[in-house]
Amino acid sequence: MITLTARVQAASDPVDEKGYGMKRVAIVYGGFSSERPVSLSSGEAVGKAAREAGYDVVMIDAGPDLAEVLLAEKPDAIVNALHGPWGEDGCVQGIFEWLKIPYSHSGVLASALAMDKIKSKIAYRQAGLDVAADKAVSRAEAAASHPLPVPYVIKPVAEGSSFGVVFVREGANSPAREVLSEDWAYSDYLMAEEYIPGRELTVAVMGDRPLAVTEITTLREFYDFSAKYEAGGSRHTVPADLPEAVTQRALADALTAHRALGCRGVSRSDFRYDEAKDRLVILETNTQPGMTPTSLVPEQAQFVGLSFADLVSWIIEDATCQR
């Protein structure tokens, strides 16, 4: 594990040109998960937009002394720009609650539930959403035999950005033996999931408002980390060219998922649409969606008429405790 110490950039003058106090906002980003590079990019973009919107911004690269730094900086609100384990799974949200500092995005329970791909699907099923068949497996079980009929996908249960995803395709003679490699960097807690063919769709929800449907296409094997975050890695079409009934179903299903998990603020749900079967399957909900230059939520916000600064301002003003 990489051990980091929280680093704080100098804050701007806390009094505006008229002499009124400015809301002091801490952008908590970086951290030490596998998604640290994405979080650094998200945090920098959010911090810049918050300054442009007139907030007094302090940038905090999250480390083991995060609580101590927050107490010293005394922010009025926190924008959580962390991604992945510790930042997205309820851990850091518990720190914010303990310190009683209003913060953005989802709370402890919703964050933990959404991060666990198996447990979140229980909530989806209960809410009436279509999900792919799945089975919890250990690394040893995934490598020993096929846990589901081929084709299927092996995923770490609690990772984001498509880290550790292994496809077992039609005609595969062996199961996912890659998970036993010495350089495997993820947990032993895996999920085998039915492979759903079709189009990759995503919908952002802002409060109680689904924004738009984006279709994601890529020349890569699938929508992996590089496709998500590298320039030219994927193409985003917003709004997606879909029958109106499918668009409305995706918007409604994203809002249903947001509510079923108890999400707050902004979330983004990912789907596969199998046109041959007219089947819309929810894959997961991201409670800390990316805010990088190539991210999907800012694109959808812009589509409905919100600038990036407007979006960031909304996220800041939405911050509360007991989320």
Average pLDDT, the chain: 89
**Contact at 8 Å (CB) between 127 and 260?**
yes
Query: Between the CA of residue 118 and those of 82, 162, 189, 193, 299, what are the distances in Å?
Result: 22, 15, 10, 10, 29
Task: Just list the catalytic residues.
Answer: 35, 161, 229, 268, 270, 284, 286, 290
Residues 294-303, mean pLDDT to the nearest whole number: 94
Q: Which fold has domain 113-130+197-307?
A: D-amino Acid Aminotransferase; Chain A, domain 1 (3.30.470)
Sequence spans of domains, the chain:
7-104, 113-130+197-307, 134-194
Distance of alpha carbon 131 from the chain centroid: 18
Residue 124 to residues 160, 258, 261, 267: CA-CA distances in angstroms? 18, 10, 8, 15
Provide the CATH topology of domain 7-104.
Rossmann fold (3.40.50)
The CB density around residue 140, as the number of other CB atoms within 10 Å, is 10
Kindly indicate the confidence band of residue 186, based on its pLDDT and cuts at 50, 70 and 90: confident
With 0.85 as the threshold, say if the pTM is over it: yes
Rounded CA-CA distance 315/311 in Å is: 6
The better pLDDT of the pair 293, 117 is held by: 117
- Please state whether 162 falls in left (phi above 0), alpha (psi between -120 and 50) or beta: left
Q: How many CA atoms lie within 13 A of 188 on its CB side?
A: 3
Mapping DSSP to helix (H, G, I), strand (E, B) and coil, where does residue 318 land?
coil
**Collapsing DSSP states into helix, strand and coil, what is residue 166?**
strand
Q: What is the pLDDT of residue 11?
A: 44
* pLDDT tens column, 8-57: 454 444 555 533 458 999 999 999 988 899 999 999 999 999 999 999 99
